[in-house]
Structure 1
Amino acid sequence: MRGWRYAWALSLSVVLVLGLGLLPAHAERLRDLVDIEGVRSNPLIGYGLVVGLDGTGDQTTQVPFTKQSLSNMLSQLGITVPSGTNMQLKNVAAVMVTANFPAFARAGQNIDVVVSSMGSAKSLRGGTLLMTPLKGADNQVYALAQGNLLVGGAGASSGGSKVQINQLSGGRINNGAVIERELPSTFGTSRTTTLQLKDENFTLAQRISDTINGQNGMGVARALDSRTIELQMPASRSSQVRFLAQIQNINITVGEMDAKVIINSRTGSVVMNRNVMLDNCAVAQGNLSVVVNNQQSVSQPNTPFGGGQTVVTQQTQISVNQGGGSLQKVNSSANLNSVIRTLNALGATPNDLMSILQAMHSAGCLQATLEVI
């Protein structure tokens, strides 16, 4: 147990020390810090059929909508399926197709699509997606998808044994959809636009505004809040493109980040940035275990003819054990190295460390924002 705790503490130290090589302040390009209002992708979704599977498709008794979809498709192609026909299909699978419509995409351009099984298909490997319309949130068709799937997984089964590598129920088609309708864009129709910071920060918003004004004149940029900077744009659309191309490559000095600790309760991982600090405090962490042991005992009469009866009784034993719990002093830590050494010195397991950090935050000893995901 001690060796396991030491190995976990060492791995935690390696993860946390990755941030130590950063300088207190560094410069990043403006394009890496902000998004331009209106310049965004839009999700598309569609329902389709994958054919050509090697007996790994949907079972029509379990997934009746696959049979219904195939009948509707055949009827559109002029093929009438007699009513009451029991089609036992093993090479067809019902799938959902998703894609992202990129900003400023034009009709005739190709985009990638992701195909995911929604039925009982065992594998989509080797399948072909039939023509599938992709719709936006307004229920309008914006692209058509079709092509051969590329599935990254592989598997085999025989005699009840099965071997599988990666996922077989999903695949991807590069350039698998053709854009048929363009999205309306308001870019270039207004003399103002806004830059949206990816992380809210009043200091950074004002710094970006000052830097843009310093290179293009006062009044060009104005910070509206901790996430939004308003820009005064040139009149023509081509001039606006040139202006945004110039300011996107401006180097912005990024100051200190907010101290933050991220706890993932599902995986037991703890990540903190280099600005986390600790104040003096004392920590006692113990393990409380309650053991309930039920045993059956048989009680028989002393003599065979004594008139007594054999009775089965329950004997219950309850024990409460508490391990550890010694009070340990946690010294004030002004840098991430000291924080790592202090937390590792506690010898706590990942679950214990999450509880300790939460208690430290409640006591005001952890100088950081605590976020549980």
Structure 2
Amino acid sequence: MNRPDALNRIALQQAVCGALAWLAMSPVTVAQVAPVASVARSTSIPQSVVTLRDVCRLKGQEENTLQGWGLVVGLKGTGDSDIKPTMRALARATQLMGASIATDAQGVPLLDEVGDAGNVAQVMVTAKIPAAGAQQGDRLDCEVNAINAKSLEGGRLMLAYLLGPRADQPVVYALAEGRISLPNPSIPTSGAVFNGCKMEATVTNAFSENGKITLILDRDLASFSNAVFIGDAIDGLNQGGLTGVGAAADSYIATKAIDAHHVEVMIPNVYRDEPVKFVSLLMDIALTNIKKNKRVVINEREGVIVMGEDVLINPVAINHKNLSIDARPGVGGFAGLDSQSPVNEMRPKLKNLVDALNGLNVPTADMIAIIRTLDRNGDLYGEVIFE
């Protein structure tokens, strides 16, 4: 190592130590000097705005996907060409529409009659029914994806039957047709027909069974403690009833936390004939102290790190390239240590480490490498997700 490099290394180490020492003495959270890599978020949801509907959903109230097979016509030579299944489908569609077409002895249309199918493409058509369901006559957007065609630009979807998700129940729930738009021109094989799906049947999702409903916690919030807390919050309504009507026995709400994801709630007798009203009132219950799971999400391609405020790391010494950082007790440390818990009082926070590295303009790639190593070594307390 030549002398200028050695001096630069010493200067950088002194800067890191100075930044960490300043962080250790500061009573407030340090703002990022150069926010090139991270976005910090609180793991406590703001208490004043959180209701039950914000953190969970009702079992049965899920999106459903309709799907079907269709033909797109009007393409500029970018279709399926001489793909036999497409030619057969086109010939059959021509026959069903009453057009004259030659057939064999069994009445099957002859493929030679339709010629080249370069302007036609077979496609997969899908539409999503909202969690609340859909009524007959409702219009939904549908997605159209090519099977073999090079591009769907300029095409039009012929009338397609959309079935339910189960192959053993071939019920036509909707019809789809219309001009294809390309939401992303760089992917011409995937398009959409806005309001092109018309519901032919009403689809409703039941939310109660045997006089009870089941709350499902959002994936990011699912934990045993949150499930128990939600059950306790609902039990608290039994002090005066949900709306103050009915006898105490008739308005009593029984709850049971089944696991980290599910909480069962019995519909009280006073609302047995009005389950919708009960759910409406129940889902507006205000909650406090709901905690998010400790998580770090990293997008390496975009250079983004998103972390919870209380993601902890072990007191460790880190050496990476020309950086040397020591987060062990007695040699500095980070601001914001959780002194309320004896277990955590000597553990620094990942956010403070990233803030210090940001202040020194450390490249995002180096920060990600450090976080990845901390996670692999078991020195980071939280889930690390790479997108």
Question: What TM-score results when the alignment is normalised by the length of structure 2?
Answer: 0.70
CA distance in 1, matches of 2:268, 2:200: 32
Post-superposition Cα deviations, 1:18-40, rounded to whole Å, max 9, x if no partner, equal: x2697775641211211101112
**1:118 counterpart letter in structure 2:** I
Query: Residue 232 in 1 paired to residue 266 in 2?
Result: yes
2:174 equivalent in structure 1: 143
Q: Between the two structures, name the one with larger relative contact order (CA 8 Å, sep ≥ 6).
A: 2
- Contact 2:88–2:111, Cα closer than 8 Å, also in 1: no
1:203 equivalent in structure 2: 225
CA distance in 2, matches of 1:119, 1:22: 49
Question: Alpha carbons of 1:183 and 1:284: their partners in 2 closer, same or farther (altered >3 Å)?
Answer: same
CA distance in 1, matches of 2:325, 2:210: 62
Query: Residue 89 in 1 paired to residue 89 in 2?
Result: no
**1:272 counterpart letter in structure 2:** M
1:301 equivalent in structure 2: none
- Contact 1:260–1:368, Cα closer than 8 Å, also in 2: yes
Displacement after TM superposition at 1:187 (Å): 4.1
1:45 equivalent in structure 2: 67
CA distance in 2, matches of 1:273, 1:332: 16
Post-superposition Cα deviations, 1:139-198, rounded to whole Å, max 9, x if no partner, equal: 322211112223335xxxxxxxxxxx5433332223222222345754455211110101
1:177 equivalent in structure 2: 197
1:60 equivalent in structure 2: 81
* Percent identity (aligned): 27
Displacement after TM superposition at 1:359 (Å): 2.5
Displacement after TM superposition at 1:116 (Å): 1.8
- Contact 2:44–2:291, Cα closer than 8 Å, also in 1: no
Query: Residue 369 in 1 paired to residue 366 in 2?
Result: no
- Contact 1:262–1:272, Cα closer than 8 Å, also in 2: yes
Structure index of larger Rg: 1
Further displaced range: 186-195 or 265-274 = 265-274
- Contact 1:122–1:169, Cα closer than 8 Å, also in 2: yes
List gaps (5 residues or longer) in structure 1: 3-8, 154-164, 287-323
Post-superposition Cα deviations, 1:72-122, rounded to whole Å, max 9, x if no partner, equal: 211222332445346123432221111112344233322221112222232
Displacement after TM superposition at 1:271 (Å): 2.4
Query: Residue 253 in 1 paired to residue 288 in 2?
Result: yes
List gaps (5 residues or longer) in structure 2: 1-7, 9-32, 103-109, 242-251, 328-332, 337-348
- Contact 2:313–2:350, Cα closer than 8 Å, also in 1: no
Post-superposition Cα deviations, 1:215-238, rounded to whole Å, max 9, x if no partner, equal: 245543222222111111146765
Question: What TM-score results when the alignment is normalised by the length of structure 1?
Answer: 0.72
Displacement after TM superposition at 1:355 (Å): 3.1
1:270 equivalent in structure 2: 305
**1:342 counterpart letter in structure 2:** A
CA distance in 2, matches of 1:43, 1:110: 14
CA distance in 1, matches of 2:209, 2:140: 27
- Contact 2:43–2:291, Cα closer than 8 Å, also in 1: no
Q: Provide the alpha-carbon RMSD of the alignment.
A: 3.2
Structure having the higher strand fraction is: 1
Query: Residue 244 in 1 paired to residue 279 in 2?
Result: yes
* Secondary structure in structure 1 of the residue aligned to 2:68: strand
Displacement after TM superposition at 1:71 (Å): 1.0
- Contact 1:110–1:178, Cα closer than 8 Å, also in 2: yes
**2:384 counterpart letter in structure 1:** L
* Structure-to-structure mapping, 1:1-373, within 5 angstroms: 10-13=34-37, 15-17=38-40, 19=41, 27-53=49-75, 55-61=76-82, 63-78=83-98, 79-81=100-102, 82-85=110-113, 87-102=115-130, 103-125=132-154, 127-139=155-167, 140=170, 141-152=172-183, 165-183=185-203, 185-198=205-218, 199-216=221-238, 217=241, 219-234=253-268, 238-264=273-299, 269-286=304-321, 324=322, 327-330=324-327, 331-334=333-336, 338-344=352-358, 348-373=362-387
Instruction: Count the aligned residue pairs.
Output: 313
Displacement after TM superposition at 1:202 (Å): 2.2
